[in-house]
Amino acid sequence: MHHDSAIYTGKATPDAAADRGWLLGHFKDPSDPRHSEDVEIKWGVHPKGDQRERWATAERRTALLVLISGRFRLEFPGRTVVLAEQGDYVLWGRGVDHSWYAEEDAVVLTVRWPSIPGYRVDEPEGHAEAEAEGHAEAEPEGQGQRQGEAEPAGSPVL
């Protein structure tokens, strides 16, 4: 990796490992060129069967998730979206509850905005990679799996 005041280069997989997948956002040191209060970017590497432990609720950000490889399912209230081909993506807005499941080994790129402090939840030991959304939203206990009809990417979700 190399950086100066105007240019930063790196490798997503090793850089992401340093901050639960997140490459850019408010949580980076202010002197780091990857510090931003406007946007967060995550390189998420998920083994088959990896899933979000709890639903993300009361979301105050907009998010875009793009499938790089594998097969990845996102659950929304009353709706399921499966990303199956490279480049498939889903966008959801503020206030949309969600969860996810890696149906195959998957790599996804997540962009969220704005970058808001206070969403990270400390995970139980041994679950460092359990939250695909990285700096996870504070969620009430008892949020269970929600079911919906699966549909391919390409349909509006907002």
Over residues 79-90, the pLDDT tens digits come to: 999 999 999 999
Contact yes or no for 98/73 (Cβ under 8 A): no
Round to the nearest angstrom and report the end-to-end CA distance of the chain: 37
* Long-range Cβ pairs for the range 8-15 (8 Å, 24+): 8/33, 8/34, 12/43, 13/43, 13/45, 15/43
Residue that is written with structure tokens 């970017």 in the block: 41
pTM value is 0.74
Q: Which of 128, 127, 46, 133 is nearest to 92 (CA)?
A: 133
Q: Which of 125, 121, 150 is nearest to 54 (CA)?
A: 121
Structural domains present in the chain: 2-121 (2.60.120.10)
| pLDDT score for 3 | 61
pLDDT of 123 > 60? The answer is no
Over residues 3-28, the pLDDT tens digits come to: 666 789 999 999 988 888 999 999 88
pLDDT of 94 > 70? The answer is yes
Alpha-carbon distance values, 118 to 60, 63, 75, 138 (Å):
11, 17, 23, 8
The per-residue DSSP string of 101-121 comes to EESSSEEEEEEEES--TT---
Over residues 108-118, the pLDDT tens digits come to: 999 999 998 86
Phi-psi category of residue 95: left, alpha or beta, with phi > 0 → left and psi -120 to 50 → alpha: left
